[in-house]
Structure 1
Amino acid sequence: MIAIARATGMNVIDALSVFSPYQVIKTRPIEPSSAEILSQVHHADLMAELQFRTSKKHYPRELRKGIDLIPFPHDGSVRTWIDSIDPGDIRQQMSQETGMALTYIATQLTENKLNPSLAIAASRAGGGSFATGLVVTELITPAEGGWQIRAREDELLEVSDDVLVEAISARIHLLQRRVKQRKEAREYAEKMTELLG
């Protein structure tokens, strides 16, 4: 249906909203919130922005010109989107609405994936744009989901210092968890290799 809409020049959101479960897609603003946009900025770009703001002598803003932001989806972009709209129990609400186990949802997030049903459930639970959930999960493009051409670049420049630092702190925490998970997975694989000879 999306391919047909694109081929015929039809608005993809209009085409999707005809079908369940996408009928809700136009009941909320199509455009993403500031938090949702910032969630799709890679942690390296967040850290670079902090450098530009805090040490203009060593990191003049001119250095940024001509360098594009790291494209999304990036590693962890689905989880950071979930975190950006999480009212505190978003995973439980996603599980209740879809009937999918929390362990399955956790696996999806670890693998940086989310099926459309879970994306819709997450948007509903978090109060976010239904369209943005479909953008983040790559069902539709940012342009089709109402994103401005330079939405991420503009948001990065406009975000307050405290929000920027909070976002960086959250990403570092996520990176620490990933490093720990990879270490544990490697150690488990080594033990299994030893046991199996």
Structure 2
Amino acid sequence: MPLQSKAFQRWLHNVAPDASTADVCRVSGIKRTTLAQQLVRGKVAESTLVSISRAYGLNPVQELATFDLYAVLHGDPVPPTPAELVSQIATIDLLRAVVQRSEPGQAAPPGLSGTPHPTAVRNWVDAIDDGELRHRVSEATGIAPQNFSAHLTANRLPPELAIATSRAAGVGPAGGLVAGGLITEAEAGWPAEGRQDALDRMTLGELVTLAGERLQALGKTLRRQEQDHERTERIWENLG
């Protein structure tokens, strides 16, 4: 849920009391029309606050925590679970690790890809799901299960839904914000080498199993896309 305009403006006045709207937009890289439209609608996107916070050298997690909806972010960062860390490793990096471990003498793969990766949101939810998570999130937020699944398929998770999912899973509140790309690992207080360390602790069997699951899911997605493309082609052919 976007931030209330009045609350955002109070926050902005505290952050940059002497700056004009033009000044704020210039230093943060936000278009003036974008900010103006959000203020007129009375709803300011969380990403706007994040961009402004970064521009003024502030931690966006701590700044979000000053709003009631994100008060759960207050306090010391909650460390991510090993499963959460691994969920934020791209599939290609998992495959490189499998090859490197399976063939003695192979050079170590390059550093891990940045976050978020193309399936980061779904992987994060899968990593913290005990089998009933989607049901609990649906009950807590009122979101229909199919709509929640649509967010995961699109690799997007609204910040307030990410917070609700973290709460329902009993994990740190910032994990979904990292997976969704709103904040970085560092801003969330995750350890600098946390993902790599979590990967190194996995056995080869665990690594191969996870990589296989990721590839299977990718295969299903690609098949759906191919089927959709074929249906579109047939429609155009029929239209002549």
Same fold flag (TM > 0.5): yes
Q: 1:164 aligns with which of 167, 182, 207?
A: 207
Provide the rounded CA distance (Å) in 2 between the counterparts of 1:28 and 1:88: 29
What is residue 189 of structure 2 aligned with on the other side?
146
Provide the rounded CA distance (Å) in 2 between the counterparts of 1:28 and 1:160: 31
Check conservation: 1:28, 1:130, Cα contact below 8 A.
no
Shift in alpha-carbon separation, 1:192–1:105, aligned structure 2, 3 A = farther
> Over residues 57-109 of structure 1, what are the superposed CA-to-partner deviations in whole Å (9 max), with x where a residue is unaligned?
4x243xx3xx2222221111111111111111322322222222222222221
Provide the rounded CA distance (Å) in 1 between the counterparts of 2:143 and 2:219: 27
What is residue 84 of structure 1 aligned with on the other side?
127
What is residue 89 of structure 2 aligned with on the other side?
41
Shift of 1:171: 0.4
What is residue 156 of structure 2 aligned with on the other side?
113
What is residue 97 of structure 1 aligned with on the other side?
140
Q: Which residue identity lines up with residue 141 of structure 2 in the other structure?
A: T
Shift of 1:26: 4.1
Q: 1:6 aligns with which of 54, 72, 83?
A: 54
Corresponding residue SS for 2:150? helix
Check conservation: 1:87, 1:125, Cα contact below 8 A.
no
Q: 2:80 aligns with which of 19, 32, 42?
A: 32
Provide the rounded CA distance (Å) in 2 between the counterparts of 1:163 and 1:28: 31
Shift of 1:14: 2.6
Shift in alpha-carbon separation, 1:194–1:95, aligned structure 2, 3 A = farther
TM-score of the superposition, structure 2-length normalised? 0.71
Q: Which residue identity lines up with residue 184 of structure 2 in the other structure?
A: T
Q: Which residue identity lines up with residue 56 of structure 1 in the other structure?
A: P
Q: Which residue identity lines up with residue 68 of structure 1 in the other structure?
A: G
Q: Does 1:52 align with 2:92?
A: no
Q: Which residue identity lines up with residue 180 of structure 2 in the other structure?
A: T
Structure 2: gaps spanning 5 or more residues: 1-48
Structure 1: gaps spanning 5 or more residues: none
Corresponding residue SS for 1:143? helix
Percent identity for Structure 1 against Structure 2: 36
Shift of 1:32: 1.4
Q: Which residue identity lines up with residue 183 of structure 1 in the other structure?
A: E
Corresponding residue SS for 2:160? helix
Number of aligned pairs? 192
